[in-house]
Amino acid sequence: MKTTIYYKTLPLYKGDAILSATGIPVTPPIGSCNAKRNAGMDPICLGRPAKLRKLEDEAEKEELLWLCPSSVKSNRTGLKNSVQRIIQPIIDGIKLGSQRTDKKDPISLASADSSFAHVPPCTKAIEAIVQAVVRKPHTTGYTHACGSPESRCAIASHHSSPEHQLSPEHVIVTNGCSGALELSLESLLDPGTTLLVPQPGLPLYEEISASIGANVIRYRLDPHQGWECDMNHLEEIMTSKNGNTCCRAIRAMVITNPSTHGSVFSETHLTQILGFALKYRIPIISDEVYGDLTFGSNRFHPMARLAAVHGRKVPIITTSGFSKQFLVPGWRIGWVAFQDNSYGSLREVEKGARRLANLQHGVSHLQQSVIPALLSVSTTPGLARWKEDFRNVLKSQATLLCSKLMNECHCLDIRSPPQGSMYAIVHLDLDCLDETIQDDMDFVRLLVREENVFVLPGSSFGVPGTFRVAYSSCERILEMASQRIINFCHRHRREKRRAHCNQ
């Protein structure tokens, strides 16, 4: 069949697709369509009948014939990345101190890349990987796609308890905790299915779901109750007008504990969540990447252990890794542990995860070699002391930043002081700020412009009227950043409300 290339002069039909010579629709690259529209032309159709103007330019014919459309999945990926879309214009405004008249160097409290922290990585981690290079030449070779036997055994032992013994065969080593989340969701979700995610929460949950073609329903966390799950809101979701359809479509519920906003769930609250999951037969994905990075009396309770204590009725998929707990995010060490219920509900999901893991042929064998040493706190000398010292440093830095902001700037409020992890959420009293600041986006944008300090706006993760700060930087940086934020707030106080704001 002869292929002729035409410009379309009539309105484009459904889907803005390109037709091949066989009449099969092909999705064009977004940029190509936009380029044609910007030039005042419609996208192109191949093999369409009359009423079209024939192309004369041979070079353009070749360009069109060589169109390589991106996949549907890749086009879906990133469309839900509201964080990047919202903050990129703000990031573009950050300048080096030498580029500013006030010479203020940039300070970012937006994220906690633990490799930038002033605390060095755990020396035991460094020693373990050096020994692997020198003494374990087999780590230069391939290993099992789901992880080396030694690493899987260590992870299984780490997640085992008297109530529940986890077998190594139920562990898959992944490319960081984000890889564990992706593998878990890819194994569970299909296009059109639904995932329950916390709000506020990690945007990655929604980004992976969107890439798959699945939907998300956000359940609220309550800042007045230590950012616990709003159990009433969860019930409202399940009993809403479309409740029956909703229940059938929901494949899993994600919890983050400790969370990316500083909360650590109590055993009582985790038991409430288990009760909800049992009532509606919803598996739980427990994101535990921060592990035991908790402060004071706040204790970390692994969800799988509690599920076992309560009769192994709710299946738990646990994701975790080393990036936060040992300050080695660049090593990309993570894992997923399938801790099924007594009915074997995750059997097929776990098989699917293994098949997906085979596509990657496994994670770096060398990096995996450190897992046994770092998960053996009781047998690795000095490891427990390092972890305790690191927790104390984080707690001190959290106290410094939060107390300074709260005590010296009355338009800021931290309703739930950090109990763990590396973050805190700060609420804005917009009534105390002048008319140039109408919302959290204005606050963050102007803070960058005037003080060269970058914090994450709450609108980017579902909590407008707030911003998030990371306290992983050294005390000197935190002192400087907090003072700049305080100066900014004082400069933007609303005159008519100044007396109120100073009370």
Residue indicated by tokens 């490319």: 175
Query: Is 2's pLDDT higher than 60?
Result: no
d(CA 452, CA 409): 18
Q: What is the DSSP string of 401-442?
A: HHHHHHHH-TTEE-SS---BTTEEEEEE-GGGB-TT--SHHH
Choose the most confident range, by mean pLDDT, from 195-199, 239-243, 494-498. Answer: 195-199
Query: If DSSP states are collapsed to H, E and C, what string results for 79-99?
Result: CCCHHHHHHHHHHCCCCCHHH
> How high is the pLDDT of residue 88?
72
Query: Is 247's pLDDT higher than 90?
Result: no
Per-residue pLDDT band for 340 (boundaries 50, 70, 90) equals very high
DSSP-based three-state secondary structure for 282: coil
Domain with CATH 3.90.1150.10 in the chain: 79-118+384-492
Determine the average pLDDT of the residues in 262-273.
Answer: 96
Q: Kindly report, residue by residue over 429-476, the tens digit of the pLDDT.
A: 999 999 999 999 999 999 999 999 999 999 888 899 999 999 988 899
Q: Is the domain defined by 79-118+384-492 classed in CATH 3.90.1150.10? A: yes
Contact 220, 233 (CB under 8 A): yes
Q: Kindly report, residue by residue over 165-180, the tens digit of the pLDDT.
A: 999 999 999 999 999 9
The model's pTM: 0.84
Residue with the bigger pLDDT between 132 and 5: it is 132
> How high is the pLDDT of residue 114?
62
Nearest-10 Cα torsion for 57, 59, 62, 64: -70
Q: Which of 287, 359, 365 is nearest to 319 (CA)?
A: 287
CATH architecture type of domain 123-376: 3-Layer(aba) Sandwich (3.40)
Sign of CA dihedral 230, 235, 240, 244: positive
Domain with CATH 3.40.640.10 in the chain: 123-376
> How high is the pLDDT of residue 110?
85
The phi, psi pair for 16, rounded to 5°, reads: 50, 40
Query: Is 419's pLDDT higher than 70?
Result: yes
Minimum mean pLDDT range among 227-231, 237-241, 249-253, 278-282: 237-241
